Structure 1
Amino acid sequence: MCALFHHKDDLVVSASLDQTVRVWDIGALRKKTVSPADDFLQLSQMNTDFFGGVDAIVKYVLEGHDRGVNWASFHPTLPLIVSGADDRQLKVWRMNEDKSIRVWDATKRTGLQTFCREHDRFWILTAHPELNLLAAGHDSGMIVFKLQRECPAFSVSGDSVYYVKDRFLRFYEYSSQKDTQVIPIRRPGSNSLNQSPRTLSYSPTENAVLICLDGDGGYYELHIVPKDSFGRVDTVQEAKKGPGGSAIFMARNRFAVLEKSSNQILVKNLKNEIVKKSSLPVVADEIFYAGMLFGQVTWKSVALLSKHSISIADKKLVICLDGDGGYYELHIVPKDSFGRVDTVQEAKRGPGGSAIFVARNRTEDKVVIFDLQQRIVLEDLQTSTIRYVIWSSDMESVALLSKHSISIADKKLVHRCTLHETIRVKSGAWDDNGVFIYTTLTHIKYCLPNGDSGIIRTLDVPVYITKIFGNTIFCLDRDGKNRPIIIDSTEYMFKLSLLRKRFDQVMNMIRSSELCGQAMIAYLQQKGFPEVALHFVKDERTRFNLALESGYIQIAVASAKEIDEKDHWYRLGVEALRQGNSGIVEYAYQRTKNFERLSFFI
């Protein structure tokens, strides 16, 4: 049914209706040279020799399909073979370094990965020459899919980020841009397809890392990183493992694991021992950390506070801690106590901290905020299936990232806005001004609190944002390399200043920057700021229209004199009459020689 050459080696892969995929060694053909002959008998003999059994040898027979195989192909860069058959399955076979073909388990002869469609047969398959993509055609259409996860798992902690690259946990410091290998986290041989870490959670106080993977139904690995182990393999402790759909740190020495089979959240300590179980009132397939809830110590309303947070009001200092299951300390600060130890009053302490989680429900397309202490759902929000939950630094805003949309909400999951993208959303982060910066396959974009969005710059390759410092975006690419990208934030900072009515900043940006273009003028008109748009425009016709819209009649008169057209003088007279400016009305009628209206006006 199909036969294809290997792109480098003297191999041919063939697909057959006998349910097998065969690999042929045609190395003998390269060594054999045949000269053309006019004699018919010699030509027949040459053809016989050319296709003889000694020239093309079947080296391997791959058996695994239940029906006839329609297509097989070598991967252009990886040691893989992909096959599609009438059993509606795609199978991926691995080719090892000695050029032999084997499956993941050579004794059981099972495929590394199987893609199956219930009612369709696969007929053709090909690999992208550069990207990690495969395309397969079936009875009712085609699919494009990946063999491996390309988004690196990472966790940001202050001025640094921990991330996974190859088989190692690495540490990158933003200020010095120093990259350090920390510990090995995967053993050689554990390189099965689609086994890249999915998420990573880091505890800065205990220097511990939780890594979640999708293999074997989902499991996690807990690594305790000794402080002196950076780059040293001999000091690495054995990782603790356990099943779970997702695992995240919720306190200094506690982490939560979602057990999908029982729909429970298991709270465990660093010894991997279960401390507490809590049943979820809704079916969840993933959980995301959402801070600590300290209802007793908030000043106006219930607040979501990050770990080790501090709140100050009316000379009262509240320190929220997460030890012993979560507690707070209330300190009364006397006015004359600065620097004096003898005047310090004893702190009032009480419980009240409980971990808050955002739980995702795919079946109902919604997310909920769940209080682990009270075991109740605090808030919920209907949204498309989310992939990432990204909180702002003050925990006041949250971005819910789906495949093709972004939903912005506040800490109580009150919906603010939703953006829709035609191509996939890859990553995002909040900057210090409350603007959400996100990436798609081809662009870096921004989203303001009111839902306005725009393009910051284009991308040559997809990147994943980890941190934003001013005009510098730090990100990871698909090769696991940290890349600082300098951006121009003038446009979205200008719009943000308009949104917050900081007109002094707006005027400073107008004087110092090169904000111009019809798009900016249209935006200012749309948002009700035509008077600001006047500062961008030099064209007299546009200035005339903006001046009439904003009510600046004197600027309109100056532009009308430059244009000197009857229609513009007429419009000026109508606007001046509406404002009650009789002098300009009379002047406009004189310029248009509208003596009938002028006599009536006099």
Structure 2
Amino acid sequence: MLFEVNRKLFSRSERVKGVDFHPTEPWLLAGLYNGTVNIYNHETGAIVKTFEVSEVPVRCCKFIARKNWFVAGSDDFQLRVFNYNTHEKVASFEAHPDYIRCLAVHPTAPIVITGSDDMTLKAWDWDKGWKNIQVYEGHSHFIMNICFNPKDSNTFATACLDRTVKMWSISSSTANFTMDAHEKGVNSVDFYTGSDKPYLVTTGDDKTVKVWDYLSKSCVQTMEGHTNNVSFAVFHPNLPLIISGSEDGTVKIWNSGAYRIENTLSYALERAWCIALRKGSNDVAFGFDEGVVVIKLGRDEPAYSMDASGKLIYTRNQEVLSGNIQTIETSAAEAADGSRLRLSCKEIGHTEIYASSIIHSPNGRFVTVVGDGEYITYTALAWRNKSFGNGMSFAWGPDSNTYAVLESKLKIKVYKNFKERAYGVKGGAGWAVDSLYGGPILGACGAGFIVFWDWDTGELVRRIEVDAKSLYWSGTGQLLAICAEDCFYILRFHREEYDNALTSGETISEEGVEMSFEVVIDVSDIVKTAKWIGDCFIYTTTTNRVAYFVGTSSYSISPFDTPLYLLGYMPAHSRVYLADKDMNIYSYGLSLAMVEYQTAVMRHDMEAAAEILPTLPKDQLNKVARFLEGRGLKELALTISTDPDHKFDLALQLDDLDVAVEIARSVPALEAELKWKSLGDRALTAWRFDLARECFEKGNDLSALMLLLLSTGDREGLAALSSKAVEKGQNNLAFTSLLQLGDANACVDLLIKTQRAPEAALFARTYAPGEIGKAVDAWHFELEAKKRPKIAATVAHPQKNGELFEESALVDVQ
């Protein structure tokens, strides 16, 4: 079985006796022999938290995530509970009169079961103040391991150095049954998580790993390979593997179907003691004498394939299951974007190899499973073996009668009608390739290059220097997406250029025909999975987003919370279908008519676009209008858009002021003010003064209106403007308008009214002498109102002083 083993965390420390993954946080709990408990971030490798639990070894520890706790058992007989967020010690009590060697947390009930060197097990209920609710007796030696049954959480199994494995019920103090499991002490026990086999796996000091049918109490298989006591063995929940670790310092990975060793891992950290599996992931943690290691087995992406009709085939370990997206009810297909859909799937057979990839033939009649260095082609309906052989990679040709197999990095075989063709591919001697890709021409990716050959002749078409991780051909065979680590490229394939080069008799170099490919664009999105729908490239990204690319632009459809993998597009539902790693189905709406319309526009085929336009869903018209605006087709966008705001903006950009006025008049007055102001400014630039005046009036833009009225010399308008400005409290604007009209008396009155009597007096002294008395009286009144009589007395009243004196002097002269 071929799968990658990637090391995520390697940290040296004191001896690690217990490890556990947090179910939601990227945390690993590690109990050390020096009495410390560490919490690591297994993504970064950093120690997040450290707890000084005891002065003696901590032999077991587990997260209780639903309470934000972890629980630890140690050699001072104490069971301790800590809140890992606050560092608070929640509980501490003597659970046994001897070392606490193992513990297990019930998956749903508030119960922790501990096992000890006192040869007993005890159940503790934290909702009852950590009361001991049951004692389990029957073992005659140290109890090494406890495991709850995933199919029935009311039962659990224990491993003991008395050479036995016992099955228990939570409510009973005596074992349901006992199995004599090993010739020496038993160190661990674990349940098979699948529903098809009632199996246990055990390990012992007799250096063996054993698989048991616990219903018949019979040994199914004994696996030998370790050279010292075997500390643990577990069934992997997602992969057909058994993982074991030993005091010989190695971790062995076994095929759980064939019971053979697939891989042996050694990290030079001395004895291996404990293991933890991360739920919902392929991460595995190990504890050793000298540290802790976290690895990732294989990849998270499931092995699946969906043909053009919506038939989905995927594997779960070696089971092959099938479902049809077409059978999803219309109501479900119209569900909210991102909602999980119910798809009925059934098992259609098994495959002898562990699938790393599944590939439908172009017509959907055949399905090829690739994995373990082999390939098997089955009929899609009856799941019968059609052909098989050795192969690292496989690619279907443009029809279902032609395919290619990569037998080794330097050997490619081409088959026609399931018979090997006498000639394979020509040229490229010494080019080591890693994977093959089907399409109108055969593609192969190597380290830093892609190479293409013609299916019929085997001649070299083109070699391109690029470090690619996958290729995707469009259905028309004209467009190619090359996905690299940090971007993807769209290329156009010119078959005629290659054919012309052949017919002209010119010698084709080792780089092939240069003009056969033309780069359209490169896009800085990282593609995870993808499909072509016509000339539309739909893809998911590493940032959990589904998007599509048309012409020279990329458009986002929707983000999502968890990693999803693209299955395909169903035109009948107008939806993109995706799946998570457990093959739960999700969908997002995407109108194929809209994609076709965008494609036609990008090709400048406006006649075809006009024919498609009436078929577009009404709720997509605004999106189409914005697409057209982005392409510079603003006139067409204006005719299509149904969004008043967007139409108004387009009308302004196009100087179509009549349309803009119509839109502004149809909008409620409070919402239209900004539109009228913008329209007024645009009308001024177009020399439409009457329209500008209407806009400024309806938009209450009195400043702009005043400038316009002054420019046109409209005295009546200015008078009306000053009154309106007074009503709205825009006194500076009203004063300016009155001053421009030459109405000095009104200016004085406005200043007095707005409690600016000093300015009124000074203004009157210059421009309206007859109003000085009124202004000074107002000034005196203001000062007295502010209780400032002394200041008021210093302000001279012209009529009572200077002006009256002048009048009396004149009388005397007469």
Q: Secondary structure at the match of 1:513?
A: helix
What is the aligned partner in structure 1 of residue 389 from structure 2?
241
Task: Give 1:441-590 correspondences, 5 Å limit.
Answer: 442-456=544-558, 458=560, 462-470=564-572, 471-474=574-577, 477-479=580-582, 483=585, 485=587, 487-489=589-591, 499=602, 501=606, 504=610, 512-513=618-619, 525-531=629-635, 532=637, 535-539=641-645, 545-556=649-660, 563=673, 568=678, 571-577=681-687
CA distance in 2, matches of 1:399, 1:530: 30
Displacement of 1:406 in angstroms is 3.7
The offset of 1:252, in angstroms, is 5.6
- 1:437 deviates by 2.2
Map of 1:169-568 to 2, 5 A cutoff? 175=326, 183-186=349-352, 195-202=354-361, 209-213=367-371, 215=372, 218-223=373-378, 225=379, 230=382, 240-246=388-394, 248=396, 253-261=401-409, 263-268=410-415, 273=420, 275-281=422-428, 282-291=431-440, 356-361=441-446, 363-364=447-448, 366-387=449-470, 389-402=471-484, 405-412=487-494, 413-421=517-525, 425-432=527-534, 434-440=535-541, 442-456=544-558, 458=560, 462-470=564-572, 471-474=574-577, 477-479=580-582, 483=585, 485=587, 487-489=589-591, 499=602, 501=606, 504=610, 512-513=618-619, 525-531=629-635, 532=637, 535-539=641-645, 545-556=649-660, 563=673, 568=678
TM-score, normalised by the number of residues in structure 1: 0.58
> Contact 1:428 / 1:439 at 8 angstroms: preserved in 2?
yes
Q: What is the deviation of 1:443?
A: 3.7
The 3-state SS of whatever aligns with 2:546 is: strand
Q: Post-superposition shift, 1:455? A: 1.6
* 1:552–1:73 Cα change, 3 Å: farther
Q: How far 1:393 moved relative to its partner?
A: 2.5
Contact 2:322 2:345 in 1 (8 A): yes
Check conservation: 1:390, 1:429, Cα contact below 8 A: yes
Q: Which residue of the partner structure matches residue 322 of structure 1?
A: none
Cα offsets for 1:72-122 (capped at 9, x unmatched): 9968857755779999x9x4545979xxxxx954xxxx56364979xxxx9
Shift in Å, 1:3? 1.3
For each residue in 1:256-283, what CA deviation from the matched residue of structure 2 results, as whole angstroms up to 9, or x when unmatched? 222434x242234667656323344244
For the Cα contact (< 8 Å) 2:370–2:391, is it kept in 1? no
Which structure has the larger Rg over C-alpha atoms?
Answer: 2
Question: Map of 1:54-93 to 2, 5 A cutoff?
Answer: 54=142, 57=161, 59=186, 60=204, 77=237, 80-81=242-243, 91=251, 93=253
Contact 1:409 1:416 in 2 (8 A): yes
Which residue does 1:347 correspond to in 2?
none
1:551 Cα deviation after fit: 1.7
- Which of 109, 114, 120 matches 1:31? 120
Q: CA deviation at 1:182?
A: 5.0
Contact 1:27 1:55 in 2 (8 A): yes
Change (3 A) 1:418 1:279: same
The answer (yes or no) to whether the contact 2:318–2:355 under 8 Å persists in 1 is no
Matches of 1:526 and 1:460, distance apart in 2:
31
Structure 2 match to 1:351:
none
Residue 6 to residue 507, structure 1, CA distance change in 2 (3 Å): closer
Q: Do the aligned residues in 1 keep the contact of 2:540 with 2:546 (CA within 8 Å)?
A: yes
Aligned partner of 1:255: which letter?
Answer: Y
Counterparts in 2 of 1:72-221, with a 5 A limit? 77=237, 80-81=242-243, 91=251, 93=253, 105=260, 112=263, 114=265, 127-134=277-284, 145-147=296-298, 150-154=301-305, 156=307, 160=311, 163-168=314-319, 175=326, 183-186=349-352, 195-202=354-361, 209-213=367-371, 215=372, 218-221=373-376
CA distance in 2 between counterparts of 1:4 and 1:549 reads: 68
Aligned-residue offset at 1:480: 5.1
Q: Is the 8 A contact 2:676 2:695 kept in 1?
A: no
Measured after TM superposition, the shift of residue 549 of structure 1 is: 1.3
The answer to whether the Cα contact below 8 Å between 1:494 and 1:509 also exists between their aligned partners in 2 is: no
Q: Distance in 1 between matches of 2:452 and 2:349?
A: 34
**Whole-Å Cα distance in 2 between the matches of residues 155 and 564 of structure 1?**
52
SS at match of 2:307: strand
CA offset digits 1:451-496 (Å, max 9, x no partner): 2211246466624314532414455553457x48462438757755
- TM-score scaled by structure 2? 0.45
Which amino acid is 1:368 matched to?
Answer: V
* Structure 2 unmatched ranges of 5 or more: 1-14, 22-29, 35-58, 61-100, 104-114, 124-139, 145-160, 162-184, 187-203, 209-224, 329-343, 495-516, 666-671, 697-703, 714-814
Partner SS, residue 154 of structure 1? strand
Structure 1 range deviating more: 584-593 or 252-261: 584-593
8 Å CA contact 2:491–2:521 kept in 1: the answer is yes
Question: Aligned-pair distance for 1:576?
Answer: 0.2
Q: May I ask how many residue pairs the two structures share in their alignment?
A: 463
Q: What does residue 3 of structure 1 align with?
A: 17
User: Matches of 1:479 and 1:95 in 2, distance apart?
Assistant: 21
Which residue identity does 1:196 align to in structure 2? A
* 1:413-444 residue CA offsets vs partner (Å, 9 max, x unmatched): 4222333346xx44322335x32222346443
RMSD: 5.7
Structure 1: 5+ residue runs without aligned partners?
Answer: 8-12, 35-51, 98-102, 292-355
SS in 2 for 1:547: helix
Over 3 Å counting, the alpha-carbon distance change for 1:494 and 1:82 in structure 2 is farther
How far off is 1:405 after superposition? Answer: 3.9
Q: Structure 2: how far apart are the matches of 1:394 and 1:115? A: 50
In the TM superposition, what is the alpha-carbon distance from 1:550 to its structure 2 partner?
A: 1.6
Q: Shift in Å at residue 286 of structure 1?
A: 1.8
Instruction: Give me the identity figure in percent.
Output: 13
Task: Give the superposition deviation at 1:2.
Answer: 1.0
1:597–1:92 distance in 2 versus 1, CA, 3 Å: farther
Distance (whole Å) between structure 2 residues aligned to residue 93 and residue 134 of structure 1: 12
- Mapped to 2, the partners of 1:521 and 1:247 lie a distance apart of 40
- 2:247 and 2:525 map into 1 onto residues whose CA distance is 35
Larger helix proportion, structure 1 or 2?
2
- Secondary structure (helix, strand or coil) at the match of 2:433 reads coil
Asked if the contact 2:16/2:287 (under 8 Å) is kept, the reply is no
Deviations, residues 352-371 of structure 1 (Å, cap 9, x unaligned): xxxx212212x22x433322
Preserved contact between residue 133 and residue 147 of structure 1 (Cα < 8 Å): no
SS in 1 for 2:424: strand
